[in-house]
Chains A and B, each alone.
Chain A
Amino acid sequence: MTKTEFLQQLYNNLSPLTDSERKEIIQDFEEHFSAGLESGKTEERICSELGSPESCAAPYLQGINASGQYARAKSAGASYTVPAVQKVSANPNDGRNRFLWSVMFLFLVICAFGVYPTAFCLMLSPLAVALLALLVLAVSWTGAAAGFLICLSISLFSAGLLIFLAMTALLKMSFKKSGF
């Protein structure tokens, strides 16, 4: 088959597409021919490496939907546009796992109403401790009491921060896994 015959047949097979799309595709293949000829191949050889014009045209027609846009085909099996790599790695449990994760997410959202205020209160509680410290230390100043109050403030604040970060991380993770 010659280049002209190939391109003519390809063009004919692309008839369901718009003129500009057909031209663009033909240009791609023309470019392929000119690059192949430059590298010393014959038209015959380039044609045989490309495959038949029908089989070259088929995927363009397959991937097209009502709006004229190319989309990943939804159907499994023989469809060209579904990459097998993705298909085989899809876990059959995915649907169930997603459901469980979304239940988890909703549960966490409800928990968050209680957990976040608690975390903020804990983070703010060193202020209350400081107030207490003023009273206690005004009466009797001891190093031990001061040390105890400082440790208490730090641990209360870190507990609050930890709860805040853990809750946020859990929410994020379950949101991601549930795939909303």
Chain B
Amino acid sequence: MNIQFKKGVLEMCVLSLLKQGDKYGYELADTVGRQIDISEGSIYPLLKRLKNEGYFEVYLKESPTGPARKYYRLTAKGIEMQENLEKEWKEFSHSVEIVLRGGVK
């Protein structure tokens, strides 16, 4: 699959997963990696960037088995971003569908 497709959609996937509840880095990387063939390492720079841009808050939480884990929680700004991206994505993929079917509604 086209690499640019994946990179653009990755941000939306991560925001959408976090909308359903706080998650730690590995959970996000693993969930996306199971569905989309992408190098999971690219999740972490993305998480850092989105955090710096104020879409997430980060907190540490003890795990029952190992050291504390870094959890990501969407901020109000992040929720808004997710909704915008999802809406744009749906409109966009709908338009592309129409074009693929010959450009007739």
Interface of A toward B, CB cutoff 8 Å:
25, 27-29, 31-32, 34-36, 38-39, 49-53, 55-56, 59-60, 63, 69-70, 72, 80-89
- Select A32's contact among B7, B44, B45, beta carbons within 8 Å: B44
Question: Binding site of B, secondary structure by majority: helix, strand, loop or mixed?
Answer: helix
A residues within 8 A CB of B69? 31, 35
- Select B92's contact among A34, A35, A55, A85, beta carbons within 8 Å: A85
Check B52–A69 contact: CB distance below 8 A.
yes
Check A25–B42 contact: CB distance below 8 A.
no
Does residue B77 face the partner (Cβ distance < 8 Å to A)? Answer: no
Check B52–A31 contact: CB distance below 8 A.
no
Does residue B4 face the partner (Cβ distance < 8 Å to A)? Answer: yes
Kindly state the separation between the CA atoms of A85 and B85 in the bound complex, as whole angstroms.
7
Beta-carbon nearest neighbor of A53 in chain B? B41
A residues within 8 A CB of B91? 89
Least CB distance from B26 to A in Å reads 4
Kindly state the separation between the CA atoms of A83 and B25 in the bound complex, as whole angstroms.
20
Check B39–A83 contact: CB distance below 8 A.
no
B residues within 8 A CB of A50? 39-41
Kindly state the separation between the CA atoms of A38 and B59 in the bound complex, as whole angstroms.
21
- Select A51's contact among B9, B30, B42, beta carbons within 8 Å: B42
Check B8–A84 contact: CB distance below 8 A.
yes
